[in-house]
Amino acid sequence: MANSNVEPLYNQIFINNTFVNSVSGKKFPTFNPANKKKITDVAEGDKADIDLAVNAAKAAFQPDSEWRTMDASVRGQLMYKLAELIDEHKNDLAYLESLDCGKPLRDSVSDIRSSVSVLKYYAGYADKIHGKTIPSDGPYVSFTKLQPIGIVGQIIPWNYPILMMSWKLGPALATGCTIVLKPAEQTSLTALYIAALSKEVGFPDGVVNVIPGYGITVGQAISSHPDINKVAFTGSTEVGKLIMAEAAKSNLKRVSLELGGKSPLVIFDDFDVDEAVKIAHDALFPNMGQSCCSGTRTFVQEGIYNEFVKKAAKLASEKKVGDQFDPDTTIWPLVDEKQYNKVLSLIESGIKEGAKVEAGGSKVGDTGYFVYPTVFSNVTDDMRIAKEEIFGPVQQIIKFKTLDEVIKRANNTNYGLAAGVLTKDLSIALKYMENVNAGSMWINCYNAITPQNPFGGFNQSGFGRELGEAGLHNYLEIKTVSIKK
């Protein structure tokens, strides 16, 4: 169990391996979403703080710096030590994560374990990043050299704070970049804790810098800074567009974006209904639906539709409300008031547009930001709940007849992050896989996300990939060298 008496140890800005107050001296509060009580005040970064962090990262990236001259194998060892230290501190980190974003303690522990795996995976890559020799035309010996892109700005979301930090730190550190990272203002505490651990294991000054603050100030300053070479962002499509515009207007910095989704999970009537109900439930309701790749559009073939709806509603109705430290909790709060109001507004729109509430459909009291897991049937493709990313515990069950029909309907979205299909017919599964536009395709499963598998989207779900070998490419430049014989 986590130490329930642990206090937030770090609430300042982390620059050049030192915790400091913001230049402005401003602070902002962070709250426990289960009871709306303030946890602590966090130093509020601004453009001036980003300038200081970039200067530190820039110094750490100089050709003669300790970081740039470090053996790649030693860099990997540092990363492995950081992963091990995070694992050693997982109890306190899990407590702070749950306190700050509302998820159950067991889920926070699981996120930390996954984060440790990601960092160890990329630690193993540190001394295996290399170019190729090329049999070029003419009297030349040619080869490529892969070099770190430089100073990277990283902006992470509030739904999986520690996990998303590992997805960003892993490839950036493995390739030898230096980092200026902005955690979400709702969930800054664990990012600052991990920053302290990075110093403890021996990362040189300026390699890891963490600047809490708001998107409109810190996020904008990162996106537009002329000395940042690349920005990586996970969050909404709307904000992703703003970041891309700022990157273009400033110095054409490279951008990778992992954005929103409205992912289809298609269930054919040859698949076991009970198993399908469980997979579909687990595709949506973990983290109370606050996941970019949630299978929110549940397409069910007409032959099993009614039975599926009945069983899906029953499963959702059996969940238990509680705070994040109750081990029996299966309903926990949304992250903040803004998200809470958005989800309730979209539930209300579904009711007004004619969808049928089979389970949930309302808030839970007034103590925290709780919403009952909601299941809608009789959903049509033109309803807001079928088109907009809800980012909450709301399942839309949609009836379909044929494979060709459901492929068209699955693709009728601006997004393309993930998709799933449940069927015992391999030909159906392969045709669906080939024709549905999604960065991750899951067949007879969902959320099969591992450190080895690239993750990212098509269309307005973003571009670039995280995880896997592909995740390294965002942080590397290719230098081609030719020598005359």
Buried b (16+ CB within 10 A) or exposed e, 351-387: eebebebbbbbebeeeebbbbbbbbbbbbeeebebbe
Half-sphere exposure of 311 (CA within 13 A, CB side): 16
Distance CA 13, CA 332 (A): 29
Identify the CA nearest to 292 among candidates 475, 139, 416, 424: 416
Identify the CA nearest to 261 among candidates 465, 435, 450, 437: 437
Distance CA 464, CA 476 (A): 12
Handedness of CA 234, 237, 242, 247 (dihedral sign): positive
Distance CA 244, CA 220 (A): 10
Identify the CA nearest to 185 among candidates 231, 147, 138, 235: 235
CA distances from 359 to 32, 219, 315 (A): 27, 38, 9
Relative to beta strand 254-258, strand 230-234 is: parallel
- 179 with 154: CB under 8 angstroms? yes
44, 97, 185, 258: the active-site residue: 258
Identify the CA nearest to 330 among candidates 373, 369, 276: 373
CB atoms within 10 A of CB 88: 12
Told to judge if 348 belongs to the known catalytic residues of this protein, a careful annotator would answer: no
- Give the CA diameter of the chain: 78
Q: Which residues pair with 210 in a beta bridge?
A: 14, 181
Structure tokens at 128: 């295996």
- 228 with 252: CB under 8 angstroms? no
CB atoms within 10 A of CB 246: 19
Long-range contacts of the stretch 104-108 (C-beta < 8 A, 24+): 104/324, 104/325, 104/326, 104/327, 104/329, 104/332, 105/1, 105/2, 105/324, 105/325, 105/327, 106/327, 107/286, 107/287, 108/162, 108/324
Three-state secondary structure string covering 282-318? HHHCHHHHCCCCCCCEEEEEHHHHHHHHHHHHHHHHC
What positions carry a catalytic annotation? 258
